[in-house]
Amino acid sequence: MDPSTTLTALHEFCTERLGPELAHHFMKMARPGFDLVVAAPEEAAGDSRFGGMAMLEPGTPWPTCDGFPLSLLAVLDTDALPREWLGDLIPAGTGLLNFFFLDTGSEQCHEAAFEVAGKRPAFCTAPELAAVIAARSSHAVPAAPPARASVFAPVPWAASPGFAFPNQSFDLVLPDDLGPEAMEMRDTIMRGLYLEHDFPDWEQRPGALTAADIAFAWPVLSNSPPLPDGKELHQFQHLLQISGPYEWGLGADGGDMHWTIPTEALRTGDFSRAIPTPDYA
């Protein structure tokens, strides 16, 4: 289905369960995004994948922190995603988004990476430990990683569009003036619980995003995202969630990797302002 048809069906689904007034406000939280599912190369969304080689424009420097190279974790080919689902979320022609992070979680990681990360008060959440670099599809070429950077086997992704909602009380962006019914929803339905606990058929909703790896939309979180002081989640847009079983992992006990960006920076294509928001299990 196209996004307009999907939104209409989703609104009807929510209205049946929440009533028309609350469903109207609840639907304001719906954000478009894409399930990223492991696929054969011929089924992939362009060059979208976990791992592999970075795709950069000639002359683009490889991102580093204190002179230590970050590692390429994923590439998202936005030109291969249905434009009608992206709307004005990102500028047309954004091309390939390369997602980098300091590797301290794989068997390949260099021992010096821990020293680099350890210098930061917030281990693994400092902005300089990650980077998102855009490259125009017509100009991008494979970039050889420098020494000490980890290189992971490529895993192609197919992309399926849909809509997501915040899944935890700290994600909730309902305003405070919607009346007692909305406040009851905030204090009970959304009280640290996943929506499917309250809606038994929640995963059957139209346009549901249920994959482990997700582009845009809302992330699936276990803990509050580590945003800069004084910033609220509604001022930011989720870029990418990596949660699948790959060569790389987040922390000894697992976790999901996220990149987040101020919404106004995303709409203008300023990916230099993207930050890491890892979610440790």
Which residue ranges make up each domain of the chain?
Answer: 3-280
Specify the higher pLDDT residue, 216 or 231.
216
Q: Quickly state the pLDDT bin for 231 (edges 50, 70, 90).
A: low
> What is the average per-residue pLDDT within 111-134?
84
Sequence-ordered alpha helix ranges (H) in the chain: 3-18, 20-27, 83-86, 112-118, 180-184, 263-268
* Per-residue DSSP letter, 60: P
Q: What value does the mean pLDDT of the chain take?
A: 84
pLDDT of residue 277: 87
pLDDT of residue 29: 80
**pLDDT above 90 covers what percent of the chain?**
55
> What is the average per-residue pLDDT within 228-233?
63
pLDDT of residue 119: 85
30 vs 135: CA distance, rounded Å: 28
Buried b (16+ CB within 10 A) or exposed e, 30-43: bbbbbbbbbbeeee
Specify the higher pLDDT residue, 136 or 23.
136
pLDDT at residue 178 greater than cutoff 50 = no
pLDDT at residue 83 greater than cutoff 60 = yes
pLDDT at residue 153 greater than cutoff 90 = yes
Residue 181, phi-psi category: left (phi > 0), alpha (psi -120 to 50), beta (remainder)? alpha
What digits encode the pLDDT tens for the residues 15-52? Answer: 888 778 778 877 888 899 999 999 999 999 999 999 99
Q: Quickly state the pLDDT bin for 221 (edges 50, 70, 90).
A: confident
Q: Quickly state the pLDDT bin for 117 (edges 50, 70, 90).
A: confident
Task: From residue 95, give the alpha-carbon distance in Å to each of 47, 48, 134, 164.
Answer: 10, 11, 7, 23
Q: CB count, 10 Å around CB of 155?
A: 19
CB-based contact 72:149 (threshold 8 Å) = yes
pLDDT of residue 229: 62
> What is the average per-residue pLDDT within 81-96?
94
Tokens 């909305």 appear where?
Answer: 182
pLDDT at residue 172 greater than cutoff 60 = no
Q: Quickly state the pLDDT bin for 184 (edges 50, 70, 90).
A: low
Specify the higher pLDDT residue, 232 or 185.
232
pLDDT of residue 145: 95
**pLDDT above 70 covers what percent of the chain?**
80
pLDDT at residue 263 greater than cutoff 70 = yes
Predicted TM-score (pTM) of the model is: 0.88
Q: Report the CATH superfamily, name and number, of domain 3-280.
A: YwqG-like (2.30.320.10)
